[in-house]
Structure 1
Amino acid sequence: MPPRKSFSEASTTAKPGCQTKCGNLTVPYPFGIGLDSGCSIGPWFDVNCNNSKPIIANNLEIVAISEQQVRVKNWIAFRCYAESGNVTRQFRISINLFGTPYTFSEANRFTVVGCDDLARTDPIDGSCTGIGCCQTPIPKGLKTFNSSLGSLKNHTEAYSFNPCGYAFIGDEERFEFHTSDFGDMGFRHRTMENVPIVLDWAIGDLSCDQLKKNGDFSCGENSDCVDSDMSLGGYRCNCSEGYEGNPYLSPGCTDINECENNPCDEHGICANTPGSYSCSCAKGYKGDGTKDGLGCIAVNSQFPVIKFSIGLSIGLLSIFIGVTWLYFGIKKRKLTRMREKFFEQNGGFLLKQQTSNESGIFFEQNGGFLLKQQTSNESGIEFIKIFSAEELEKSTNNYSEDHILGKGGYGIVYKGILPDQRIVAIKKSRMMDQNQIEQFINEVIILSQVNHRNVVKLIGCCLENEVPLLVYEFVSKGTLFYHIHNNRLRIAVEAASALAYLHSAASMPIIHRDVKSSNILLDDSYTTKISDFGTSRLVPLDQTQVTTLVQGTLGYLDPEYFHTSKLTEKSDVYSFGVVLAELMTGKKPLSLDKPEEERNLATYFIMSMKEKRLFPILEPRILREGSLEQLQGIGELVKRCLNLKGEERPTMKEVATELEGFRRFSKHPWIGHENAEETEALLGKPSGLSSDLYTINVGGVFSIENYSVPNNLDGR
């Protein structure tokens, strides 16, 4: 379709008897040349033709007029300086359009040119689009523009290449900045000539609907009334689609003869219609006659377009289905091979080899993998399932961030919901080397042999991913550290009982090696659960110690184990002694922001016991609710657990027995009270320390170089 002519190019542009041109500018109605000449629709549309220069409103020289906008010659604010910083010349601008049917268009931009300049213009209420808000666009409806320039250092540091600064608004599409503008003294004149100010215009302040009701409608035939979008009311007239001309003058808009530009096929026939056109094919041809459609095809050699299109579509669809099937088949085989590779890489065969050698555990493959676990009383059999990658992806919504329970030293833990609606915790390990894979397998082996109500239960694992995953029972109440002020003694007894079980009642003794308050979890009923067996070790029945690379968490590590690398069950006793000290004092095992003698809790506790000042370091609540004899007795137990010599420490079974004895006292600050206030307090004071299973590991794996062992912890 040919482009529609502007109303300034219409055959009838001005009212009869009125001048149509001022200089080179054609002035279309509703504008008119001459002040009070009656050639315009109103006084604000009068154009004063002064020496062939068309002037409108407040001395603005018109450059062009369109159906929606008027472009006028620009005004530039400037300020120039001497090398000394003195102002040599300056000019402020002020353009006020209040009372006129014009507003500054959004096509303008407020522009400042200069290296050491500040420019300001008046803000408009309710707008934050560059005026008063450090933004450069011009807001819709702006009626006045005032601008002046200032400088931070009067151009003394930029004078050599930029003696002047400039500020103006103008058509964004017409201004292009060049660095040469800094020193170009002709910049102001060139910008005034080439970058016009764009003004939106409208007639009156009534909408089209209001005009129709009043019967004062100015739009002619074949035109549409358009409400102004300047937010100040008013309207304009536009020719309807397929028509052109001046919609404000009789006879209105006239039909465009689209056929003059031959919009149809070369064998087509164009027929002009009011506001449009139609195409048909000449005799001997068939089709819709359009250039962009089927065109015109000779009847005797007509190509079977429909049949060809259907056949082509079916063929392409068949190819697409085949390629898709082949692609997904290859992808599935690659995925299967990749998962087999990950299974081997993540220690699947090592796990099979290890479990085949363990009593009561074997590895089975029968449509899936299962680890069989013999219960502690041999009365039944539980199975630890090896999950597929799809099962765990589905249960965690593809490991979405809103399923993250926490991040630990060895990976991230997600909350998952299995198909049987069980809620589980899925521990996704980080990238592993061979040593870490052995730790992962070690944790599976150990938890496969443990069946104790106070040890976190392993439900299964997955070896088909790039990194292995462990699936635990979901322990909902967080870590001991979160609840260190409530139910203390019961929790301590349960934790000690669990460790005693690992040391002496399991089928093969297990040394945890990373006992700390953040690895003691609590379930819905606040039952204690020992977790994180990644660094644990199995001890053959004919041995009492194993020699290993030193691993553990700062503040909990057994000094004797650190010096000798010989791991015994007494190493766990020392770490548990630190946990008991935490329970009594409420202090962290390491506090680098405290005085030197208080930084290591174990050292501080032993010193306090030796100097007979235990009670000042205890939590005030414990002193208020417990007897001094009970507190002294528990303090002596902690002191024995923290003895530097492992052989002089009690066993975990002895610790559990003594704690159970203290628990039987009728009144003690560590006894849990089943009431609403206690439960509310339990849930209301989370700690900053976090679990290695559910949140960030405070200690992590460390090296000997960054750990200092106390030398004065002898509790004898």
Structure 2
Amino acid sequence: MGMTVGMVFLLWSMNVFIKAVGLGNSSCSGAAAVCGNVTIPYPFGIEPGCYIDDSFAIDCNNTLGSPKPFLRRLDLEVLDISLEGTLRVNYPMSSWCPMSGTEIAPNVSLASSPFVFSKLRNIFVSIGCDNLAYALSSDVSNSSLRSIYGGCMSVCEKGAIQSNGSSCNGIGCCKTTIASDLDVFTTRIQSTIPFKRTEDCNYASLVDQKWFEENLTNHFEVRKMSLVPVVLNWEINANLSSLVMETNSSHSTCRFANGSSLLGNMSTTFTCTCNSGFEGNPYLVDGCQDIDECANLEVCSFYNLRYPCVNVLGGYYCDPVSDHKSRNKIIIIGISTGFGLLFLFIGGWWSYKLVKKRKNIKRKEKFFKRNGGLLLQQQLSSSEMAVEKTTKLFNSKELEKATVIDEGKLKEFINEVVILSQINHRNVVKLLGCCLEIEVPLLVYEFIPNGTLSQYLYDQNEEFPATWDMRLQIATEVAGALFYLHSAASTPIYHRDIKTTNILLDDKYKAKVADFGPSRSIVVDQTHLTTVVQGTFGYLDPEYFQSSQFTEKSDVYSFGVVLVELLTGEKAISSTRTKECRSLATYLIHSMEENNLFDIIDARVMKDAKQEEIIAVANLAKMCLNLNRKERPIMKEVAKQLEAIQTLQKTPNVQQTYEEVKYVRTEMYEQWDDVSTSTMLGANSGLASSSGSRPLLSF
């Protein structure tokens, strides 16, 4: 409390003193002086008594032909002064020439002055090749007391891109900020390459950032300059506050701050600004004048109507509309404009929707025709089955998720729709319909949640492992589906691309044969199709590959590969196997011939299945993979054999199923009387009986 009263008394005493002595020379009018093209506002001044302190005294020097202002105490040329607390001066550059050893390092100290080098407005710049420049404290006599305020390094490597004036990126030119507002510093320049000798000189200095980045067409122009613009911050010593308090009014505000960073003596400094709505010099008596906002024609203008503007001290207001006619006019204009915009919006929206609807109709018709819709309708209508009961033509709005068909496979797309419309089997994926009214046609299938057989085999999880029971069930179901396609369907259908990725698993892990794009239907008496070879390598019938003739036995070969995948858990083609056994079909046959069948069987199968079951399925797969298609079984026989193996597996009493299995085996032998005895043998000589003859199942 006592300190506060003492401070107030001190300020009051200084104020009374200044009032008694006046503000200086009565001849000083307070108007800003001019030297050359630079305006000198108070607290700076040229004439005695026209500046607040000797530190703010300006000398107008005419010796160079045109008047130029200089700070009297610092002998720095003033470029401009701002009442916001900054001024720009010309500051000498530092340079170093390695060849001559000449070094110029000017050291202008702002200590004990109201000025500091601005941290925010200046940057430290260095121009030259292989150059390290930095600003450090002026106490260079004691190296332990030196402080580096900032520095940067520039290089000129061979082939490097030189700075082109629009950037200072470290190639021939570098820049950085300084750590804080400084009152004194020394610049040091040295080469990054020891004992380098070159005729080019290197330069460094603080410089006004805005001037450096905006006014120079090329940064290397700085090398031709001995002086560059630098921004100084200035504040007034608190000891002179009474001089300003005499002038201070409600139109300006002076704020005090700790000036230790400026003056270094823990004294305080302050600056003044005009309040909002005022402009001018806050350091002069009545220096802050009211701004006439009403001089701006945009003030109080609304919807092309200009209302009376009343200027008041520090602001303005718009006079309320008193004329009822003007008010009514505004209301009418507003309502009319609103209704007009509303009707315009409604009309435009309706027109847009109408045009869009017609465009969509034409677009759907175009896509329907282009995607083979007419051809599909013709083929479905000529089919013996009722189109309404088998396949639906969806429109685009009825589909949210569907399978996208490649536009380049349009014929396969139409073929798949026609084929699937003839099929009704629990182990064949059901086609719900198709959509032809969009750019790329869509097929809509029943949802099959558990992915493909390939994923089930090769991406197994512990919750639903691929047990032997599951594998045998899937094989039996796929065989039944293929038997249906070959024999029981209204028209025989060859799938032409049987593989594990085209076998889907539903929620109960029941098999669903899918992807009928390459499939073909044939007339009943036709035995084969002659087509361009199509299918998946590893599953492709070798005879079909050579002759281009596809028969039902070609599907049998592909199914044989699937059987081997179920037995071994390996993919149809693998680069990890030897070159001659990269094909899984060859791998199985080779292993059986070398008496190594059980070495390639999947560990899970070996754990779950009986050896006779494995041998039976392996023999069946081997027959399906016979290179001579005539010696392969048909799918009906394959399906019955798998059903027999599955029945044997599920029946505890083997004798119960002996007659059924014997019947199946006898029927197969009767139909394959041309097949060599070796094909019907066990997996290999080690697995066969000593008599050299063994059926697929033995009891």
* Band of TM-score, shorter chain: 0.5 to 0.7
Match of 2:535 in 1: 552
One of 294, 308, 314 as aligned partner of 1:275: 314
Residues 263 and 453 of structure 1: CA distance in aligned 2, closer, same or farther (over 3 Å)? closer
Residues 312 and 497 of structure 1: CA distance in aligned 2, closer, same or farther (over 3 Å)? same
Deviation of the 1:557 alpha carbon: 1.5
* Contact 2:277–2:313 (Cα < 8 Å) also in 1: yes
Give the letter aligned to residue 589 of structure 2: I
Give the letter aligned to residue 529 of structure 1: K
Match of 2:430 in 1: 457
- Indicate the SS of the match to 1:449: coil
Match of 2:223 in 1: 187
- Indicate the SS of the match to 1:244: strand
Deviation of the 1:273 alpha carbon: 0.9
Deviation of the 1:652 alpha carbon: 2.5
One of 393, 401, 408 as aligned partner of 1:386: 393
* Contact 1:479–1:521 (Cα < 8 Å) also in 2: yes
Alpha-carbon RMSD across the aligned residues, in angstroms, is 5.5
CA distance in structure 2 between the aligned counterparts of 1:657 and 1:94, rounded to whole angstroms:
105
CA distance in structure 1 between the aligned counterparts of 2:109 and 2:646, rounded to whole angstroms:
87
- 1:395-474 mapped onto 2 (5 Å cutoff): 395=400, 416=401, 426-432=402-408, 436-474=409-447
One of 60, 67, 92 as aligned partner of 2:84: 67
Deviation of the 1:349 alpha carbon: 0.7
- Indicate the SS of the match to 2:561: helix
Deviation of the 1:342 alpha carbon: 0.7
Structure with max Cα Rg: 2
Match of 1:515 in 2: 498
Residues 577 and 309 of structure 1: CA distance in aligned 2, closer, same or farther (over 3 Å)? same
Aligned residues: 553
* Contact 1:221–1:253 (Cα < 8 Å) also in 2: no
Give the letter aligned to residue 221 of structure 1: S
Superimposed CA distance per residue, residues 422-450 of structure 1 (whole angstroms, 9 cap, x where no aligned partner) = xxxx1112333xxx222111111122222
Match of 1:655 in 2: 638
CA distance in structure 1 between the aligned counterparts of 2:623 and 2:169, rounded to whole angstroms:
72
Superimposed CA distance per residue, residues 37-84 of structure 1 (whole angstroms, 9 cap, x where no aligned partner) = 9958xxxx96586995349999998854352655555676766677xx
TM-score by length of structure 2 reads 0.63
Mind listing any 5+ residue stretches in structure 2 that lack a counterpart?
1-21, 62-68, 136-147, 151-166, 239-244, 262-267, 461-465, 652-677, 681-699
CA distance in structure 1 between the aligned counterparts of 2:554 and 2:216, rounded to whole angstroms:
75
- Indicate the SS of the match to 2:633: coil
- Indicate the SS of the match to 1:372: helix
CA distance in structure 2 between the aligned counterparts of 1:154 and 1:593, rounded to whole angstroms:
62
Match of 1:482 in 2: 455
- Asked if 1:53 is matched to 2:48, the reply is no
CA distance in structure 1 between the aligned counterparts of 2:111 and 2:486, rounded to whole angstroms:
91
CA distance in structure 2 between the aligned counterparts of 1:170 and 1:472, rounded to whole angstroms:
72
Residues 193 and 311 of structure 1: CA distance in aligned 2, closer, same or farther (over 3 Å)? same
Match of 1:377 in 2: none
CA distance in structure 2 between the aligned counterparts of 1:520 and 1:58, rounded to whole angstroms:
93
Match of 1:221 in 2: 250
- Indicate the SS of the match to 2:228: helix
Match of 2:138 in 1: none
Deviation of the 1:101 alpha carbon: 9.8
Deviation of the 1:465 alpha carbon: 0.6
- Asked if 1:26 is matched to 2:26, the reply is no
CA distance in structure 2 between the aligned counterparts of 1:280 and 1:563, rounded to whole angstroms:
99
Residues 270 and 629 of structure 1: CA distance in aligned 2, closer, same or farther (over 3 Å)? closer
Q: What percent identity do the matched residue pairs reach? A: 39
- 1:69-468 mapped onto 2 (5 Å cutoff): 71=88, 73=90, 170-172=208-210, 174-176=212-214, 182=220, 184=221, 187=223, 189=225, 192-194=227-229, 196-197=230-231, 221-223=250-252, 238-247=273-282, 253-258=288-293, 271-278=310-317, 307=332, 310-311=335-336, 314-315=339-340, 317-362=342-387, 371-373=388-390, 384-392=391-399, 395=400, 416=401, 426-432=402-408, 436-468=409-441
Structure holding more helix per residue = 2
TM-score by length of structure 1 reads 0.62
Give the letter aligned to residue 604 of structure 1: Y
Residues 88 and 468 of structure 1: CA distance in aligned 2, closer, same or farther (over 3 Å)? farther
CA distance in structure 1 between the aligned counterparts of 2:393 and 2:149, rounded to whole angstroms:
68
Give the letter aligned to residue 40 of structure 2: T
Deviation of the 1:466 alpha carbon: 1.1
CA distance in structure 1 between the aligned counterparts of 2:290 and 2:521, rounded to whole angstroms:
96
Residues 278-287 or 338-347, more deviating: 278-287
Residues 89 and 453 of structure 1: CA distance in aligned 2, closer, same or farther (over 3 Å)? farther
CA distance in structure 2 between the aligned counterparts of 1:437 and 1:642, rounded to whole angstroms:
32
- Indicate the SS of the match to 1:193: strand
Residues 169 and 38 of structure 1: CA distance in aligned 2, closer, same or farther (over 3 Å)? closer
Residues 665 and 57 of structure 1: CA distance in aligned 2, closer, same or farther (over 3 Å)? farther
* Contact 1:62–1:70 (Cα < 8 Å) also in 2: yes
Match of 2:14 in 1: none
* Contact 1:149–1:165 (Cα < 8 Å) also in 2: no
Superimposed CA distance per residue, residues 201-248 of structure 1 (whole angstroms, 9 cap, x where no aligned partner) = 9999xxxxxxxxxxx9x99524578999xxx99997643331123457
* Contact 1:101–1:203 (Cα < 8 Å) also in 2: no
Give the letter aligned to residue 422 of structure 2: Q
CA distance in structure 2 between the aligned counterparts of 1:547 and 1:480, rounded to whole angstroms:
30
Match of 1:4 in 2: none
CA distance in structure 1 between the aligned counterparts of 2:395 and 2:515, rounded to whole angstroms:
22
Deviation of the 1:180 alpha carbon: 5.8
Q: Which has the higher contact order (CA 8 A, sep 6+)?
A: 1
Match of 1:403 in 2: none
Match of 1:497 in 2: 480
